[in-house]
A and B are shown apart, each in its own frame.
Chain A
Amino acid sequence: MTLLRFDDWTSPVPPVEREVLSRLVEGEDLQPPLLFVPGPGMGAWVFAEHWLTHAAGRGFPAYALTPRENGDLRAHVHDVVQVAAALPRQAVLIGHGTGALVVSRALGRYPARAAVLAAPVLAASVTDRWATLGAAVKANPLGTLRRRPRLNHKQLFSAGTDADAYLSRMTFPRRLAARGPVPRPVASPPVLVVGSPDDRVVPRKSLDRVATHYAGAPLLFPGMAHALMLDTGWAEPIDAVLDWLTKQLSAVG
C-alpha cells in the first residue's frame, strides 16, 4: 500500500484519446461491467471478435480497451484505471497476456469487483522471465530474439483459426518493463487465473506461480494456444470465467 504517490502528484500521465469498444446489455444492469484489457499491440478488437458479445449475451455489460501506442507500464495502468472508474459500476478487470500484467498493477490502484488474468505474462520473478523467454525461444526463435519480440501462428493459435487475418492486425511493440513486486490488490477482490498447458508463450509453471500468488489454482484449457479469445475454442474459457464470476458474485451477496 503506497500512500505517498509522488509520480502521480508531480508528473501525471499525459492523457490520450482511448478507444473503448462495448457490447451492452438491454434493460436493467444486474451484473457488474467487465473491462477486457489486451496486451499492447493487440487492440480492443481481439475481444470484440467473440468474447464481448458472448459476455453481454449472458448479462454482463462488456467493454474492451485498446492500449495506447508507445505507452510504458505506468501509462497503461493509468488508462485501465481511468476507463474502469468511468464505468457506471465497480468493474471486473480481465487482462490477457501482457494485459494481465497491466491488470495486476491496476488492481493495486482500483478496487475491482473481481479480476481475471488470462494467459498472464506477468514476469513477476526472474525465474518467470527466463521460463517465459525459454518457452518463446523454443516456439519461435527468430521472433523472440528481437528488440520488439513477435509472436507467430503457432504461439497464438491452434489449427483451424484464421491466423493470417488476425496476425496482420497485430503489432508487436517492445516488452513492457515492470519494476517492483506485484502489488496486493486493494479491497481484496477474488482473482482467477486461466490459461492453457499448451500455451507456447506462457509456460504451465508460470501459470501456477501466478495463481499461487493470488492464493488459487489456474483454470486450464488443454489444447488451446495463447490467444484464448480468438482461438477456435474461444467459447469454453469465457463461459468458465463467467460461471466463476457468477458464483463469486452470489457468494458475497
Chain B
Amino acid sequence: MQDTPDIADRRDAVCVIGAGASGLTTVKNLREHGFAVDCYERETSVGGAWNWRHDRSPVYANTHLISSRPLTEFPDFPMPDSWPDFPHHSQVLSYLERYAKHFGLGEHIWFGTEVVSAEPVGDGRWDVTTRSTGGGSSRVQRYAAVVVANGHNWAPAKPEIDGAEDFRGQVIHSAQYKDPAQLRNRKVLVIGAGNTGCDIAVEAAQQATTVWHSTRRGYWYAPKYVLGRPADQVNDRLLKWRLPLRLRQWLYRRTLALTTGDLTRYGLPAPDHRPYESHPIVNSQLAYYLGHGRIKPVPDVTRFVGGQVELADGRRVDADLVITATGYTPRFDFLAPELIDAGDDGRPDLHLHAFARKHPTLAVVGLLQPDSGVLPLAHWQAVAVARWLRLRRQDPARAAAVQQKESARPLQSWSRRQVVPSRRHWFEVDHIAYLKAVEELLHEMEPRA
C-alpha cells in the first residue's frame, strides 16, 4: 500500500522546520533542554537567507549587515571581534556554519528534505510529512511538537502593474538581483525603499547609465554611523537611558537634519509618519547619490504604457530594467491557516509572534522584524519555546498557569502598534520591549529551586 505509509512515531522528539539562523538556534536550544530533535531543511546546507548558494536566498553580492555586529550576533556565541562593524553576507554565512559545527547541530538536520505538511493529531502531537527536495516518496512521522523556522524573506511579493505585457524592458523582483553586472549600462528603475530597494538604487548609481528610484511615500533615511558609532549602538544608548519616545523622535529628527539633511530638496516626499513608525532604513550612500544627481527620485508607478513606465505624476520614464524591491510575504504552505490564526491576507496571529494561540505544541521562531539584528531575538524565542515545552511536559499544572498569565499580556507591550499600516510591518517589534516581554515569560517558567 504505497499511499498510506506507516507513521513512524518519534515519541518525545521535536520537529524543527528550516536550518537558517532561526532553525539552528532552535535545534541548539532544544538540545540543551534535553529534547531529541529532527530538523528538516529543503536546501542542502545551513544558513537560509545568508547562504547565497541557495536559489531562494535574497542576498546580493554586496549585501552587508545593516544591524551592527554586537546587535546581530547570538548572545552566547559572539562573532569574532576582529570583524568589521557591518560584516559581509559571506561572513554571516561562515558564522552560521561555525555555530552549527561548534554545537554539533549537523547530526540532527535532514538536508534536502522539505516539510510538505504538519497536522495536529489531537493529543498535542503532530504528523509531519516530509519529501526529499528532488521529488520522490514522502514520509510521515509523529512528533511531540513542531517548531517552524522557515524564514519570511524568500517568497517575493510582486506588485501587479498593469500593461506589463507591452513593456519593452525587463521586470525582475529584487530576489533575482544578485550581481552589479546586471545593472551595468542600463536605464534602471527601482521600486520600493526598503533596505533592499535603497541598496540596489545605490548600486545602480554606481553601475547604470540612469537610475530612477520610485517610492510611494516619504521615509526617514538613517545613516549607518552617527557620532562615529554604528547608528543602532547610539540608538540603544538612548534606550538604555530610557528616554521617552517623543524625546527620541525629536533627537532623531535633529540627528537626521544634521547628518543626512533635508531630502525634500532633491524632490523626495517628506515622511508621512513620525520617526520610529516604520522599519528602519539604514543607508548612508543614498543621500550622497541623490545629491550627485545619480539617483532621480520619482513617485509611485501606475502602469506600463507605450513601452514605458508611467508614474503617479503622469510623467513617463524610459527604463529598460525595472526592479521591484517590494519585499517578501510569509508563507506557511505546510500548515492549515487556522493553526496559526492566519487571516485571508496570510498574516498569522501568534502570541509574541511565536506561540500558536490554540496549539500549545506549535511555535514559530524568527518571524520578526526588529530594529536590531534578528538572531538575538530568535535565540531567546528558541529558549522560551524550549522552556515552555519542557515545563508542559514536567509540570502541566504550572504550564497552564503560565499560559493563563501570558494570555493577559497586553499586545502593545511587545508588538509595535504605532507603525505605517503596510505588510512590511506585520512583524515589526522594538527589540527592547520585545526582549523584556520574553524575559518576563522566561522568569515565569524558571525552574523552581
Whether A and B are associated in the same complex: the answer reads yes
Contact count band on A: 20 to 34
**A81 touching B78, Cβ below 8 Å:** yes
Q: Mark B59-94, 1 if CB is under 8 A from A, else 0.
A: 000000000011100011110111000000000000
**B71 touching A9, Cβ below 8 Å:** yes
B199 CB, min distance to chain A CBs, angstroms: 24
Knowing A78-B81, A90-B104 are in contact, say whether A4-B71 is a contact too (CB < 8 A): no
User: Chain A residues with Cβ under 8 A from B439's Cβ?
Assistant: 1, 3-4
B225 CB, min distance to chain A CBs, angstroms: 14
Provide the bound-state CA to CA distance between A1 and B101, in Å: 25
Knowing A78-B81, A88-B101 are in contact, say whether A109-B76 is a contact too (CB < 8 A): yes
4 closest residue pairs by CB, A with B: A15-B81, A6-B240, A3-B435, A3-B439
Q: Give B209-245 interface residues, CB cut-off 8 Å to A.
A: 232-234, 236-237, 239-240
Q: Which residue of B lies closest to A87 (CB)?
A: B102
B436 within 8 A of A: yes
Knowing A6-B236, A9-B233 are in contact, say whether A85-B432 is a contact too (CB < 8 A): no
User: Chain B residues with Cβ under 8 A from A186's Cβ?
Assistant: 76
A-B contact pairs, 24 of them (CB 8 A): A3-B435, A3-B436, A3-B438, A3-B442, A4-B432, A6-B236, A6-B237, A6-B239, A9-B70, A9-B71, A9-B232, A9-B236, A12-B233, A13-B81, A88-B102, A89-B104, A90-B103, A90-B104, A109-B75, A109-B76, A110-B77, A111-B76, A111-B103, A187-B76
What is the interface of chain B, defined by CB distance below 8 A to chain A? 32, 69-71, 75-78, 80-82, 101-104, 232-234, 236-237, 239-240, 372, 380, 432, 435-436, 438-439, 442
**A4 touching B435, Cβ below 8 Å:** yes
User: Chain B residues with Cβ under 8 A from A86's Cβ?
Assistant: 80
**A12 touching B70, Cβ below 8 Å:** yes
User: Chain A residues with Cβ under 8 A from B237's Cβ?
Assistant: 6, 10
Q: Which residue of A lies closest to B379 (CB)?
A: A3
User: Chain B residues with Cβ under 8 A from A147's Cβ?
Assistant: none
Q: Which residue of B lies closest to A11 (CB)?
A: B233
User: Chain A residues with Cβ under 8 A from B436's Cβ?
Assistant: 3-4
Q: Which applies to chain A's interface (DSSP): helix, strand, loop or mixed?
A: loop
**A15 touching B82, Cβ below 8 Å:** yes
User: Chain A residues with Cβ under 8 A from B232's Cβ?
Assistant: 9
Could you say which of B102, B234, B240 has the most chain A C-beta atoms within 10 Å of its C-beta? B102
A179 within 8 A of B: no
Knowing A3-B438, A6-B240, A85-B78 are in contact, say whether A187-B104 is a contact too (CB < 8 A): no
User: Chain A residues with Cβ under 8 A from B103's Cβ?
Assistant: 90, 111
Provide the bound-state CA to CA distance between A157 and B22, in Å: 50
Q: Which residue of A lies closest to B234 (CB)?
A: A10
Extra contacts, 4 of them, besides A3-B436, A10-B236 (Cβ < 8 A), are A6-B236, A6-B239, A12-B233, A110-B76
User: Chain B residues with Cβ under 8 A from A109's Cβ?
Assistant: 75-76
B250 CB, min distance to chain A CBs, angstroms: 20
B359 CB, min distance to chain A CBs, angstroms: 26
Q: Which residue of A lies closest to B99 (CB)?
A: A85
User: Chain B residues with Cβ under 8 A from A90's Cβ?
Assistant: 102-104
Q: Which residue of A lies closest to B28 (CB)?
A: A111
B108 CB, min distance to chain A CBs, angstroms: 14
User: Chain A residues with Cβ under 8 A from B69's Cβ?
Assistant: 12
User: Chain B residues with Cβ under 8 A from A10's Cβ?
Assistant: 233-234, 236-237, 240
A14 CB, min distance to chain B CBs, angstroms: 8
Q: Give the contacting residue for B81; candidates A6, A82, A89; CB below 8 A.
A: A82
User: Chain A residues with Cβ under 8 A from B233's Cβ?
Assistant: 9-12
Q: Give A1-27 interface residues, CB cut-off 8 Å to B.
A: 1, 3-6, 8-13, 15
**B380 touching A3, Cβ below 8 Å:** yes
B427 CB, min distance to chain A CBs, angstroms: 19
Q: Which residue of B lies closest to A79 (CB)?
A: B81
Provide the bound-state CA to CA distance between A9 and B85, in Å: 12
Q: Which residue of B lies closest to A91 (CB)?
A: B102
Q: Give the contacting residue for B102; candidates A1, A11, A89, A187; CB below 8 A.
A: A89
**B104 touching A82, Cβ below 8 Å:** no
User: Chain B residues with Cβ under 8 A from A13's Cβ?
Assistant: 81
Provide the bound-state CA to CA distance between A10 and B237, in Å: 6
Q: Mark A165-197, 1 if CB is under 8 A from B, else 0.
A: 000000000000000000000110000000000
**A85 touching B77, Cβ below 8 Å:** yes
Provide the bound-state CA to CA distance between A82 and B380, in Å: 20
User: Chain A residues with Cβ under 8 A from B71's Cβ?
Assistant: 9
Q: Which residue of B lies closest to A16 (CB)?
A: B81
**A82 touching B102, Cβ below 8 Å:** no
User: Chain A residues with Cβ under 8 A from B380's Cβ?
Assistant: 3
Provide the bound-state CA to CA distance between A132 and B32, in Å: 36
Q: Which residue of A lies closest to B31 (CB)?
A: A187
Q: Which residue of A lies closest to B447 (CB)?
A: A188
**A82 touching B80, Cβ below 8 Å:** yes
Provide the bound-state CA to CA distance between A8 and B436, in Å: 17
Q: Which residue of A lies closest to B75 (CB)?
A: A5
**A85 touching B102, Cβ below 8 Å:** yes
Q: Give A35-74 interface residues, CB cut-off 8 Å to B.
A: none
Q: Which residue of A lies closest to B435 (CB)?
A: A3
Provide the bound-state CA to CA distance between A10 and B77, in Å: 18
User: Chain B residues with Cβ under 8 A from A82's Cβ?
Assistant: 78, 80-81
User: Chain B residues with Cβ under 8 A from A111's Cβ?
Assistant: 32, 76, 103
Q: Which residue of B lies closest to A5 (CB)?
A: B75
B233 CB, min distance to chain A CBs, angstroms: 5
Provide the bound-state CA to CA distance between A78 and B80, in Å: 11
Q: Which residue of A lies closest to B77 (CB)?
A: A85
User: Chain B residues with Cβ under 8 A from A187's Cβ?
Assistant: 32, 76
